[in-house]
Amino acid sequence: MNDDDARHIVQAAFNRAHIAPSPGFETRMQVVLQAAALKQPVHRQRPRLREGLAVLAAVVAAVAVVATLLAPRIFTQVHQPAGTSSPSPTQSPVATSPTPDPNACRLPVVVDDESTHVLELTAGFIDVASGQFSSDPNISFADLPGAQVGKNGILQIAVYDSLVKRWLPSYTVSPDQQSYVYVTVKPGPAGSQPVASELHTYDLVQHIDRIVWTFAATMSTFRWSADGIYASTVPFVGGAQRYWRVDPVSTRATEINEATFNPYQSLISGPGSYGVSGPDPERALYTVGSRDPGTRYTDFVIIDGKRTDIYSGVNGDQMDFDPVNVWYDGSLLWFSNYDSKYLWSWTAANGLTRHSVLIPGAAGSDPTHPVVYSIAGPCV
pLDDT tens, residue by residue, 14-26: 333 333 333 333 3
Dump pLDDT digits (tens) for 286-327: 998 877 888 899 999 999 989 999 999 998 899 999 999 999
- How far apart (Å, rounded) are the C-alpha atoms in residues 308 and 326? 13
Does 78 have pLDDT greater than 80? no
pLDDT for the residue 225: 95
Q: Residues with Cβ < 8 Å from 229, sequence gap 6 or more?
A: 172, 181, 199, 201, 212, 221, 223, 245, 246, 247, 248
User: Mean pLDDT score of the chain, rounded to an integer?
Assistant: 77
What distance lies between CA 133 and its chain's CA centroid? 21
362 within 8 A of 133, measured Cβ to Cβ: no
Domain assignment present for 234 = yes
Q: Which sign does the torsion angle of CA 281, 283, 285, 286 carry?
A: positive
Which position has the higher pLDDT, 195 or 50?
Answer: 195
Q: Residues with Cβ < 8 Å from 298, sequence gap 6 or more?
A: 89, 270, 287, 288, 289, 309, 311, 312
Question: 267 pLDDT band (50/70/90 cuts)?
Answer: confident
Which position has the higher pLDDT, 217 or 84?
Answer: 217
Does 72 have pLDDT greater than 80? no
pLDDT for the residue 272: 67
33-42, 260-269, 367-376: the lowest-pLDDT one: 33-42
pLDDT for the residue 355: 93
pLDDT for the residue 103: 60
Which position has the higher pLDDT, 370 or 71?
Answer: 370
Dump pLDDT digits (tens) for 177-211: 999 999 999 999 987 889 999 999 999 999 999 99
Dump pLDDT digits (tens) for 96-108: 444 445 467 999 9
What secondary structure letter does DSSP report for 376? -
Domain assignment present for 175 = yes
Q: Residues with Cβ < 8 Å from 29, sequence gap 6 or more?
A: 21, 42, 55, 56, 59
User: What is the SS3 string spanning 351-363?
Assistant: EEEEEECECCCCC
Nearest alpha-carbon partner for 5 in 48, 73, 65: 65
171-180, 220-229, 286-295: the lowest-pLDDT one: 286-295
- How far apart (Å, rounded) are the C-alpha atoms in residues 200 and 182? 5
Does 380 have pLDDT greater than 50? yes
- How far apart (Å, rounded) are the C-alpha atoms in residues 182 and 4? 11
Does 244 have pLDDT greater than 50? yes
Query: 314 vs 288, 311, 322, CA distance in Å?
Result: 12, 10, 11
User: What is the SS3 string spanning 309-336?
Assistant: EEEEEECCCCCCCCEEEEEEECCEEEEE
Tell me which residue range forms the domain holding 208: 140-261
Provide the domain count of the chain: 1
Domain assignment present for 7 = no
Query: 308 vs 28, 312, 339, CA distance in Å?
Result: 36, 11, 24
pLDDT for the residue 118: 79
- How far apart (Å, rounded) are the C-alpha atoms in residues 20 and 15? 16
Dump pLDDT digits (tens) for 123-141: 999 999 999 999 999 899 9
Domain assignment present for 223 = yes
Domain assignment present for 294 = no
Domain assignment present for 177 = yes
pLDDT for the residue 310: 97
Domain assignment present for 204 = yes
Does 270 have pLDDT greater than 50? yes
Dump pLDDT digits (tens) for 143-155: 999 866 777 889 9
pLDDT for the residue 98: 42
Question: 95 pLDDT band (50/70/90 cuts)?
Answer: low
- How far apart (Å, rounded) are the C-alpha atoms in residues 290 and 82? 11
Highest mean pLDDT among 44-48, 273-277, 324-328: 324-328
270 within 8 A of 298, measured Cβ to Cβ: yes
Domain assignment present for 81 = no
Query: 203 vs 8, 200, 245, 249, CA distance in Å?
Result: 20, 10, 19, 12
Question: Computed over its alpha carbons, how large is the radius of gyration of the chain?
Answer: 20
